[in-house]
Amino acid sequence: RMDNHPAKMSSSILTQHVAPALGTLVALLLFLAPLKTLKAAMQGKRLLGDINPVPFPLLATNCAGWVAYGYLLRDYYIVVANITGLVLAMHYTLQAYCLCSMGGERTEGKRKLLHGTVVGASLMMAYVGLVVALPLGDKEEARKLVLGLVCNAVIVCFYASPLAEVKTVIASKSSDALVFPMCLMNVINGTLWAVYGFALSDYLIAAPNALGALFGVLQCTLCAIYPRRRGESNAIPVNPSTEKLDALVSADPLSEAT
């Protein structure tokens, strides 16, 4: 039994410390992914184009929920990983608002959609704050469960958004709508956080990230089955067209960071 002790210690360190530390780093890279896209839009025609602004306020809500959940667990891996995403998501939302305003009537529909999403996200954040702040006595586990379920519900919204891209790839028999490096990072990020969740026996962390990793595997598989058209590149462009912007944003890797 003593012989197995060092192996168990090593396994515990890998799953409970190394995995979330690497997950935090990968999550940061994913959170930074839309920065170049929005910067290119601001420096170009200053138009929103085909960029989908809805994921940005949803990302802020998602990260706020996980920051609160990590705080209740006193798990600072989760807090650190998501607090950066919260700040960046608020920045992306403000930039999207600016681009909507510059587009005039052409972006009026997206502006209204973004406004409605921001209102809904704000109400959800207020609810998260109440769950954390209200004294519930000995009902701490109930508080964690409610908050964890809210976080999972928001993540489901993220996972629904790339479904249109999967349909497009199959219909066109080309993976132009997907960015392979980001799909691969989705797999890595989801796997690391799922491992961490299972190590803690916390399925509110493990389940959504395992699902995200599986969805990333599906996207990578589609990239292998349906190669990009000749002349296309998997690299993220410095000055992308609106089609590339849409592909980047709607790929929506940001939701998987927990």
**pLDDT tens digits, residue range 51-83?**
778 778 888 888 888 898 898 888 999 999 999
Confidence grade of residue 145 (pLDDT, cut at 50, 70, 90):
confident
The 10 Å Cβ neighbour count of residue 249 is 25
Confidence grade of residue 160 (pLDDT, cut at 50, 70, 90):
low
Quick one: pLDDT at residue 164? 66
Confidence grade of residue 153 (pLDDT, cut at 50, 70, 90):
confident
* pTM of the full structure: 0.73
Please give the Cα distance from 127 to 246 (Å, whole number). Answer: 31
Q: Does 189 score more than 90 pLDDT?
A: no
Helices of type H across the chain: 4-13, 19-43, 55-73, 76-102, 108-133, 140-160, 163-172, 180-199, 203-225, 242-251
Question: With contact defined as beta carbons under 8 Å apart, do 33 and 245 qualify?
Answer: no
Computed over every residue of the chain, the mean pLDDT equals 77
Instruction: Report DSSP state, residue 45.
Output: T
The residue among 32, 36, 35, 6 whose CA lies nearest residue 237 is 36
Please give the Cα distance from 41 to 156 (Å, whole number). Answer: 28
What is the percentage of the chain residues whose pLDDT exceeds 70? 76
What is the percentage of the chain residues whose pLDDT exceeds 90? 14
> pLDDT tens digit string along 94-135?
888 888 877 666 667 777 888 888 888 888 888 777 777 776
Q: Does 247 score more than 60 pLDDT?
A: no
Confidence grade of residue 205 (pLDDT, cut at 50, 70, 90):
very high
Question: With contact defined as beta carbons under 8 Å apart, do 92 and 33 qualify?
Answer: no
Q: Does 31 score more than 70 pLDDT?
A: yes
The 10 Å Cβ neighbour count of residue 216 is 23
Quick one: pLDDT at residue 87? 93
Mapped onto helix, strand or coil, the DSSP state of residue 76 is helix
Quick one: pLDDT at residue 253? 41
Please give the Cα distance from 132 to 135 (Å, whole number). Answer: 8
Quick one: pLDDT at residue 101? 77
Confidence grade of residue 230 (pLDDT, cut at 50, 70, 90):
low
